[in-house]
Structure 1
Amino acid sequence: MQDDLLQPRLSVCESMRIAADLKLGKELGRAEKELIVEEILQTLGLWEHRNTRSEHLSGGQSKRLSVALELVNNPPIIFMDEPTTGLDVVSIRQLVVLLRLLSRQGRTIICTIHQPSASLFSLFDRVYVLSRGMCCYQGAAPLLVPFLTEVGQICPSTHNPADFVVETVASDPEASAEMSELCQNGKLCRKLDRMTLRGGRKPVLHSDESIQRIFVEHIAKEQLQKMEFPTTFLTQFFILTKRMFIQSRRNSITLWIQLVHHVVSAVLLGSIFLFVGNDAAVPIVNFKFCISVLVFFMYTYIMIPVLLFPMEVRMLRREYFNRWYGLKAYYAALTFSSLPVMNGSIVGPATVSPLLVLCCYGMGFGPYIETRMKILMSLSYLRYGLSGLSIALYQKRSSMECHQDFCLYSDPKLILRDVGMANETYYMQIVGLLGFIIIHRYPLSSVMRHVNLNLTSRTYLGSSFLDLASISRLGLGPLVGLS
């Protein structure tokens, strides 16, 4: 992707090992995977930085690590969206030279680059120029200037051909249409090994078989029907859980802030409700304490996923789209790894207030709660939390202390009766909470999977994005620039 979406708080080597475990499965042993990781890092010039965490890498190093992660399973075709964005001139040339080296190893690398320099433009094997949804040129980079001459657009010798063609197609719609017609919207390709310029004759255009039919009938169909992962659900779950625990452990500042926050809040709540837990004269105070605890956890953590999920979902989309792991394994690992610090919530702030009202409904008239209200109360996960805490406090408790002439609630069972929890069991509250976790996690993973499948289909089948007649007959993988 255009942005370098790297997992934070992981070293280069750790990121590569996790990618190797997820993408290579059990077909290779640990020694073979280590050799693959070392070879890739050596090739991309990252071996000396193998112990550097991703957030401490430079822009060029981050870009190379993004490429390295996808090279683990040696893909035949690599798409790169604006790989030179945000890099200085030296880093840009180093990256493109590296991509050219990778293309010479049998891979096809396709890049979108809007403003390549003249030296950078000359490094591409094939250029594919797009304007207003049409292909205006497809062929070798050195043949772009002769092609422009054919349509009456003379590129000055001191001008960058890439800048000149972009300015031409952007400012002159007629020239753009004429160029598209001359190359038959990209179906005709100019190749250096087939082009001759003798006696002032115009270069002869040669036609290649369109890749569209091949891509749709073979590659896309196979990929859409066989969406399997290299590893099993359990393997993905363990690898992702380990990764998330490492990231959480290294986020020491957040952990210390959470610890101090919990301790301070516990001291404040404890001082407010001090010495009232066993007083039969004020039994409702205990419910106020339980509600205060629920509200603390709810409002403290409810904004964490709201703020962080947009960034996390971008990395999730990249890794899932490239078939690293399934969404069910990701959300299972996320749920399990967030349990120790309770880092997250399952609903947004908009649903909090009504759920809190349903949680507290029936205080004082528990046996007379309406049937319709019981149904609504069962939709509030906070009710299950409050019931679990209350049952743990009162269901098997002996008589409470009474320092007055008469205490109505000396018997704890009367308290549970009047708040509508007399017939509830502790384990059913746990089952209810687990049910809410499944209900809220599983549909989200299904929706994400549906969205990514649609994205996959559009990427494979979108005729406006790819009509590269060159891929099927490229020989060794070329470096293709799309402008």
Structure 2
Amino acid sequence: MPLPRRSDSGSGKSRLGPPARDAGRLFVQLPFTEPRTSGVGGTLLVNGEVRDESTFRKQSCYIMQNDNLQPLLTVHEAMTVAANLKLSAKNTHKEKQSKIKEILESINLWEHKKSKTCDLSGGQKKRLSIALELLKNPEVMFFDEPTSGLDSLTSKQCVMLLKEIASTGRTIICTIHQPSAMIFEMFDHLYAVANGYCIYQGSVKGLLPYLEQSNLKCPPYHNPADYLLEVASGEHGDCTDTLVKTSENGLNELWRNNQRNTLQLQSMNHIDRLMESGRITPVKAPPILFSRMTNGNQLKEDPTFCWHSQYPTSFCNQIYVLLKRTFLLNSRDRTLTYSRLTTHFGIALFIGVLYHGIGEDASNILNNFNFLFFTVMFLMLTAFNCVTTTFPSELPIITREHFNKWYSLKSYYLAITLADIPIQIVATLIYAIVTYFLTMQPVEAYRIFSFMFMCILISLVAQSFGLFIGAMMDIKNGVIFGPFCFLPFTIFSGFFVQLNDSHPYMRWLFHISFLKYGLEGLVLSVLGYDRGKLPCNTDYCHFVYPEKFLDQMDMEYAQYSTAVVFMLILIAIIRIAAYFALSVQIKKRS
């Protein structure tokens, strides 16, 4: 979320948002129009010093409008994962758990620690999102519409929590649209933007006197926030230029007032009474105070500062924590795990019964070939669809966690890749074992191993394509356009048309089709490498000798090792491409 901009074209300097010397105060920005993000130059300052961008990112956090939480984790599990990623390795497990308990108790979520996040109410999810970031003790916290989707009482409770957090020394900055009068009066500082310029910057108490200077008088019993919106929208005349000039585009600090007005105190006392009566959930912030924010160079000189590296924990620890979380999520995900396993087993039984015994009869060699092609297509589509329909839903969560410096994108991608491979292999082996023996393929160890290994490679290639498409598109577009990636591979797989029968100018497409290599690998596993004469249970069998069938299918020169090498290289290439596609998506979302 871009912060409010204040610029001085004469000096060439600019400051983003309220200065950090106001730590311990609650700020609000009313963005009536989209702020400008281009054509602006200057210097970013924090307390009069040049801001170190990397260090400032580590000292701050951004809590999005939508509560992007892992739905299958409990509150305590989510906090434990965050603590293991956000706290230094110097902190013991006991210290981390103590900090988790302190924060959850302070926002009244400790009694819900065993509840899954998907079962929490809107207000509880918002408080959990705040608690996850409080583990890092950020000095500056940015909130994008923290009251969005909440009822009036829960909104008051949320803003009251932010007020309590601000009282511990943090600077809280929010964007908010059309707050109620009571919520509006809780904020210490207001920054209003219209047409990309600041029309007011100062205390909430000083807003109405400021507007009256421009002959804009708020009617009695009218919400000041609503009136300000009307003014910015031009309902009371075109006053934007006048207000921008009066506020000096936000540089005029005459209206900055630290005193709370009577209505603000009444609002806070009213909420305190509601908390005491039990009508709303009582919350309080953990008592953590900060020193004055300084520039990043001073922080880097302090070897005890916990943010001296880019991330709080090492790369290996990030992978370990993310692997544990991913395995836990997979164990609870019915779609990604249980449905995949049961689908492979159910289809394997159906296909095994349908093609029962075809592997030992020369009269069924064409049916055996059809079975092998179906195996390729089934493993490809199931592995592809499972990832394509689930991975895009992770992107909002990845964006939030990566933006707030929980972990590097490399560690996340490596963890999610390694965690899903065992499940895909188990599902593939279930299908391969059941169908191999029900169709009565040759019971020879090297043929069984070759068949199963090629099945695994086919599914991993398709899974890699799923990661790539899932990283580039949302679920809807991925389901629609994803299968088009396989159409050329399917046509040139050697099943519908053979290599020698195709047009000479199109034969090169056969050599880049992974389905062709997958099909060749399966056929060679059961029919190749000097398999003997097949028994014939009818009057005439044209393909008694498997070599004759391989020659008919243009596979007489095919090599199993070539197929394996091609598939392994393709897996590596596509997964690397998927990582870069994911990094592009994350940068766009950030």
Report the TM-score range of the alignment, normalised by the length of the smaller protein.
0.7 to 0.9
The one-character-per-residue Cα deviations of 1:219-272 (angstroms, maximum 9, x if unpaired) are 9xxxxxx99333344333332222122112123476554444333322322233
Aligned to 2:248: 184
2:127 aligned to which of 64, 76, 80: 64
Aligned to 2:567: 433
2:418 aligned to which of 330, 336, 345: 336
For residues 200-239 of structure 1, what are the structure 2 equivalents within 5 Å? 228-239=310-321
Do 1:363 and 1:419's aligned partners in 2 also have CA atoms closer than 8 Å?
Answer: no
* Compared CA separation, residues 43 and 375, structure 1 to 2 (3 A): farther
Q: Secondary structure at the match of 2:390?
A: helix
1:360 aligned to which of 475, 494, 497: 494
For residues 115-154 of structure 1, what are the structure 2 equivalents within 5 Å? 115-154=178-217
The one-character-per-residue Cα deviations of 1:343-378 (angstroms, maximum 9, x if unpaired) are 956151112221111222697667x98886564234
2:331 aligned to which of 241, 244, 249: 249
Within 1, Cα distance between the matches of 2:557 and 2:93?
Answer: 55
Q: Identity, % of aligned pairs?
A: 34
Deviates most, 426-435 or 312-321: 426-435
2:175 aligned to which of 112, 115, 125: 112
* Compared CA separation, residues 218 and 283, structure 1 to 2 (3 A): farther
The one-character-per-residue Cα deviations of 1:53-92 (angstroms, maximum 9, x if unpaired) are 0011011000011111122212222111111011111211
Deviates most, 22-31 or 130-139: 22-31
Q: Kindly indicate whether residue 386 of structure 2 is the aligned counterpart of residue 321 of structure 1.
A: no
Within 2, Cα distance between the matches of 1:365 and 1:94?
Answer: 70
Within 2, Cα distance between the matches of 1:455 and 1:227?
Answer: 24
Q: Kindly indicate whether residue 375 of structure 2 is the aligned counterpart of residue 311 of structure 1.
A: no
Q: Secondary structure at the match of 2:177?
A: coil
What 5-or-longer segments of structure 2 have no aligned partner?
1-63, 261-293, 300-307, 428-462, 467-481
Aligned to 1:401: 534
Aligned to 2:50: none
1:446 aligned to which of 580, 583, 587: 580
Within 2, Cα distance between the matches of 1:363 and 1:395?
Answer: 20
Within 1, Cα distance between the matches of 2:589 and 2:464?
Answer: 28
Q: Secondary structure at the match of 1:192?
A: coil
Within 2, Cα distance between the matches of 1:371 and 1:452?
Answer: 43
Do 1:279 and 1:400's aligned partners in 2 also have CA atoms closer than 8 Å?
Answer: no
Letter in 2 for 1:382: L
Q: Secondary structure at the match of 2:129?
A: helix
TM-score (norm 2): 0.66
Quote how far apart the aligned CAs of 1:330 are. 2.5
Within 1, Cα distance between the matches of 2:96 and 2:511?
Answer: 50
Do 1:363 and 1:420's aligned partners in 2 also have CA atoms closer than 8 Å?
Answer: no
Quote how far apart the aligned CAs of 1:281 are. 3.7
Larger relative contact order (CA 8 Å, sep ≥ 6): 1
* Compared CA separation, residues 362 and 349, structure 1 to 2 (3 A): closer
Aligned to 2:368: 286
Aligned to 2:520: 387
What 5-or-longer segments of structure 1 have no aligned partner?
196-213, 220-225, 457-483
Within 2, Cα distance between the matches of 1:444 and 1:275?
Answer: 41
Letter in 2 for 1:175: C
Deviates most, 308-317 or 99-108: 308-317
Do 1:381 and 1:433's aligned partners in 2 also have CA atoms closer than 8 Å?
Answer: yes
Aligned to 1:81: 144
The one-character-per-residue Cα deviations of 1:445-473 (angstroms, maximum 9, x if unpaired) are 223324544665xxxxxxxxxxxxxxxxx
Q: Kindly indicate whether residue 379 of structure 2 is the aligned counterpart of residue 297 of structure 1.
A: yes
Within 1, Cα distance between the matches of 2:316 and 2:521?
Answer: 31
The one-character-per-residue Cα deviations of 1:396-447 (angstroms, maximum 9, x if unpaired) are 4641422268756444445445434455444543443333232222223223
Quote how far apart the aligned CAs of 1:161 are. 1.5
Do 2:82 and 2:132's aligned partners in 1 also have CA atoms closer than 8 Å?
Answer: yes
Within 1, Cα distance between the matches of 2:237 and 2:403?
Answer: 36
Within 2, Cα distance between the matches of 1:424 and 1:336?
Answer: 31
TM-score (norm 1): 0.80
* Compared CA separation, residues 128 and 231, structure 1 to 2 (3 A): same
Within 1, Cα distance between the matches of 2:219 and 2:158?
Answer: 28
Letter in 2 for 1:433: M
Within 1, Cα distance between the matches of 2:75 and 2:565?
Answer: 41
* Compared CA separation, residues 383 and 323, structure 1 to 2 (3 A): farther
Within 2, Cα distance between the matches of 1:64 and 1:229?
Answer: 24
Deviates most, 384-393 or 300-309: 300-309
Quote how far apart the aligned CAs of 1:280 are. 2.7
Quote how far apart the aligned CAs of 1:32 are. 2.0
Do 1:331 and 1:441's aligned partners in 2 also have CA atoms closer than 8 Å?
Answer: no
Letter in 2 for 1:19: A
Within 2, Cα distance between the matches of 1:431 and 1:133?
Answer: 56
Q: Kindly indicate whether residue 228 of structure 2 is the aligned counterpart of residue 165 of structure 1.
A: yes
Letter in 2 for 1:353: L
* Compared CA separation, residues 218 and 191, structure 1 to 2 (3 A): farther
Within 2, Cα distance between the matches of 1:55 and 1:313?
Answer: 17
Q: Secondary structure at the match of 2:492?
A: helix
Do 1:237 and 1:333's aligned partners in 2 also have CA atoms closer than 8 Å?
Answer: yes
Quote how far apart the aligned CAs of 1:308 are. 3.4
Within 2, Cα distance between the matches of 1:390 and 1:103?
Answer: 68
Within 2, Cα distance between the matches of 1:316 and 1:441?
Answer: 18
Letter in 2 for 1:64: R
Quote how far apart the aligned CAs of 1:322 are. 1.6
Deviates most, 48-57 or 255-264: 255-264
The one-character-per-residue Cα deviations of 1:121-179 (angstroms, maximum 9, x if unpaired) are 11111111111211111111111111111111112342221111111221245222211
Aligned to 1:91: 154
Q: Secondary structure at the match of 1:114?
A: coil
Within 1, Cα distance between the matches of 2:503 and 2:258?
Answer: 84
Within 2, Cα distance between the matches of 1:129 and 1:356?
Answer: 58
Do 1:12 and 1:49's aligned partners in 2 also have CA atoms closer than 8 Å?
Answer: yes
Letter in 1 for 2:569: G
Q: Secondary structure at the match of 2:198?
A: strand
